Structure 1
Amino acid sequence: MHHPRQPPHPVVSVWNDTPRTVPDMTTVALALTPGMLHFELSVAYEVFGTAPPDGTDIRTAWYDFELCGSGPVRVGRFQLEPDHGLDQLRRADTVIVPGWADVDEEPPAELIDAVRAAHEAGARVASLCTGAFVLATAGLLDGKRATTHWAHTAILAERHPETDVDPDVLYVDNGSVLTSAGKAAALDLCLHLVRLDHGSSVANAVARRLVVPPHRSGGQAQFVATPVPERDDHPLGALLPWAVRRLDQPLTVEDLARHAGMSSRHLTRHFKAATGTTPLQWLLTQRIRRAQELLENTDRGVDAIAAATGMGTATTLRRHFNRTVGVPPDAYRRTFRSRPSTHPQP
């Protein structure tokens, strides 16, 4: 059932001149038509269509997940029965467009019209994998940066020159319109949406349930949270956990290189190859993530959190946090506070 808009709460995003708040983002509708890819469809269902993870204190309504299509749809070997017609997309808070199997085939006109109408009505629209072709055809990517599966980025750019196609990122967040690369990147984008709506702790709990890294780099600096390399023999495999345990300390590139037993230049090269960013940017990202967790789960003051995350002062933390997350620490805490405090307010 579609929930009516709630009373005012801390704003997390603004698009189409409409302020959107955490309690607003409850209804997730998946646009279902023949030709969809079943993996991306399943990813969306696993994240938004199942109960919130155990052990989380969800302060706002969890998602109402709806399948919207013009009739029964076969996806792979599965037959799916929509809950509503495609016109229901315009009533959703978030619309998910799964991957499109044949990018040489024009998406159905009724799907294009329904996705465009949903966006015009104020919905946040996200495409998974080649679902970006649907968004581009609907005009939602005009003048915007976007991505899709690497094998199809050149085709998307050629077919839609008005779109700034980035082939090197996992996902792109434009506020009201989001696009992801293929397969696993679709999961990264879905977890990113959960993090926007419910905070870092809840998104991490969903990731643990799915047994995936809690937050991979999307290519947008304000939401980058690079995973630790999984292989034990990776040159950074031992270094990154060591650094994460010392975020309260003023670590430098030289400190990291010394612990890794390599030159600073060699370390930077390994970092770029493994994480897509520099050692200092990676450290800043980890400090911001730790600050988010402390804001969500403790009553520590901003000064104490600045010290615990190696930011030094509350002024420095506020500057980096606001630039990275988009809201001040106090506003983030009011929005995503998830459980009673475990630390006294200093």
Structure 2
Amino acid sequence: MDNMCEDRAMTVFAADGRHRVAVLARDGVLPFELSLVHRLFGQARTTAGGALYEVVTCAPVPGEIRTDADFTVTVPHGPEALAEADTVVVPGSAADHDGSFDPAVTAALARIRPGARIASICTGVFVLAAAGLLTGRRVTTHWRASERARARFPDVTFDLDVLYTDDDGVLTSAGAAAGIDLCLHMIRTDHGAAVADEVARGTVVAPHRASDQAQYLTRPVPQPRTSSTARAREWALANLHRPVTLRDLAAQEATSTRTFTRRFRDELGTSPGRWLVRQRVRRACTLLECTDLPVDEVAAAAGFGTAGSLRLHLQAELGVSPTAYRGTFRGRT
């Protein structure tokens, strides 16, 4: 029987060198979380239009799977797909809320090969923790599941103040929408900012919400008609090459710096200064990937002023130098 499974595993993915992503569907799976993995990874393309990923759906037992909606999905592959995957993604399921776990799911996860990247969306983290894959790691999940998660898995560190985590190849995300951020983060890690931004553009979502952005806001989001900071953010993105101060941003909305900062935090869950640095880093990454500009000119175009300043911020945000980043992603796809 084991040999039969191994033989089948060789036919799950095409032998074309693409990064292989297996999505594990379980009874009660949330359709949105199941489909977003295919939607995002499926849009990642080389400059010549070639697909960068192959995504397949699998289940502990292939066949018809119940969702948490009023329809089912037919899953063509069994757990053998996990043994060949470069990345395994586990979406949430309605079953996670009542604490019921199928031993067949744990057995399926045991097939994941060493070195494969493992990710969960929302309450899919419960399955990874139950399988012993998160012991000693920092993870996250939906804030509504926080008390139950911490009580059930005391050997796992749950950080509920972030959208997603990346702990040395084991990744977790908060609610369903944070799964989008997590997938874009993986695409960005694999192929750089330009590819990830193009996927975000095609999906019409924000290209980058930082992992440490708050899961939810403690106050209601102000009405855009009276307090949106969109005009200031649009202006800042068009002027990243220039010095941009908090006073400049507030002036775009005709308000005081104190009021602007409060509204900005209410709207985006971060400070204007932190947001601005991240936009400059994203601009620099895109230029390093897509142009041959010298590093000092990239630094100037992104608003960092000097190559030294760019180097400092890129190291802080991504853990690499501008030269190393360009060497990894320039012309990669």
**What TM-score does the superposition give when structure 1 sets the normalisation length?**
0.81
Question: How far is 1:304 from its partner?
Answer: 0.2
Structure 2 letter corresponding to 1:112: T
What is the match of residue 95 of structure 1? 88
User: Structure 2 CA distance, aligned partners of 1:35 and 1:143?
Assistant: 28
What is the match of residue 330 of structure 2? 337
Output one character per residue of 1:189-214: Cα deviation in whole Å (capped at 9) or x when no partner: 11211111111111111112222222
Structure 1 letter corresponding to 2:56: E
Are 2:287 and 2:298, in contact at CA under 8 Å, matched by a contact in 1?
yes
User: Structure 1 CA distance, aligned partners of 2:57 and 2:252?
Assistant: 51
Structure 1 position 211 matched with structure 2 position 199: no
Structure 1 position 290 matched with structure 2 position 283: yes
Question: How far is 1:3 from its partner?
Answer: 7.2
What is the match of residue 265 of structure 2? 272
The equivalent position to 1:169 in structure 2, one of 162, 179, 200, is 162
User: Structure 2 CA distance, aligned partners of 1:230 and 1:170?
Assistant: 23
User: Structure 2 CA distance, aligned partners of 1:31 and 1:148?
Assistant: 17
Match of 2:123, SS state, is helix
Q: What is the aligned residue count? A: 310
Match of 1:238, SS state, is helix
What is the match of residue 68 of structure 1? 58
User: Structure 1 CA distance, aligned partners of 2:313 and 2:49?
Assistant: 26
Are 1:34 and 1:74, in contact at CA under 8 Å, matched by a contact in 2?
yes
User: Structure 1 CA distance, aligned partners of 2:332 and 2:39?
Assistant: 24
Structure 2 letter corresponding to 1:334: G
Output one character per residue of 1:131-155: Cα deviation in whole Å (capped at 9) or x when no partner: 0111111222222222222221221
Are 2:29 and 2:93, in contact at CA under 8 Å, matched by a contact in 1?
yes
Are 1:90 and 1:121, in contact at CA under 8 Å, matched by a contact in 2?
no
Are 1:27 and 1:94, in contact at CA under 8 Å, matched by a contact in 2?
yes
Are 1:147 and 1:165, in contact at CA under 8 Å, matched by a contact in 2?
yes
Are 1:34 and 1:73, in contact at CA under 8 Å, matched by a contact in 2?
no
Q: Percent identity?
A: 44
User: Structure 2 CA distance, aligned partners of 1:230 and 1:217?
Assistant: 23
What is the match of residue 195 of structure 2? 202
What is the match of residue 108 of structure 1? 102
What is the match of residue 18 of structure 1? none
Output one character per residue of 1:75-127: Cα deviation in whole Å (capped at 9) or x when no partner: 331231322x2143132110000112122233222322332442x61111010
User: Structure 2 CA distance, aligned partners of 1:230 and 1:94?
Assistant: 40
Question: How far is 1:46 from its partner?
Answer: 1.3
User: Structure 2 CA distance, aligned partners of 1:329 and 1:73?
Assistant: 48
Task: Evaluate the alpha carbon distance shift between residue 193 and residue 75 of structure 1 in structure 2; reply closer, same or farther with a 3 A threshold.
Answer: farther
Structure 1 position 143 matched with structure 2 position 126: no
What is the match of residue 46 of structure 1? 39
The range that moved more, 288-297 or 153-162, is 153-162
Task: Evaluate the alpha carbon distance shift between residue 336 and residue 36 of structure 1 in structure 2; reply closer, same or farther with a 3 A threshold.
Answer: same
Q: What's the RMSD between the two structures over aligned residues?
A: 2.7
Q: Any stretches of 5+ residues in structure 1 without a counterpart?
A: 7-22, 222-228, 341-346
Question: How far is 1:266 from its partner?
Answer: 2.2
**What TM-score does the superposition give when structure 2 sets the normalisation length?**
0.84
Mapping for residues 233-248 of structure 1, pairs under 5 Å? 233-248=226-241
User: Structure 1 CA distance, aligned partners of 2:292 and 2:50?
Assistant: 20
What is the match of residue 31 of structure 1? 24
Are 2:194 and 2:289, in contact at CA under 8 Å, matched by a contact in 1?
yes
Are 1:297 and 1:339, in contact at CA under 8 Å, matched by a contact in 2?
no
Judging by fraction of residues, say which structure has more helix. 2
Q: Any stretches of 5+ residues in structure 2 without a counterpart?
A: 1-11, 215-221
Structure 1 letter corresponding to 2:55: F
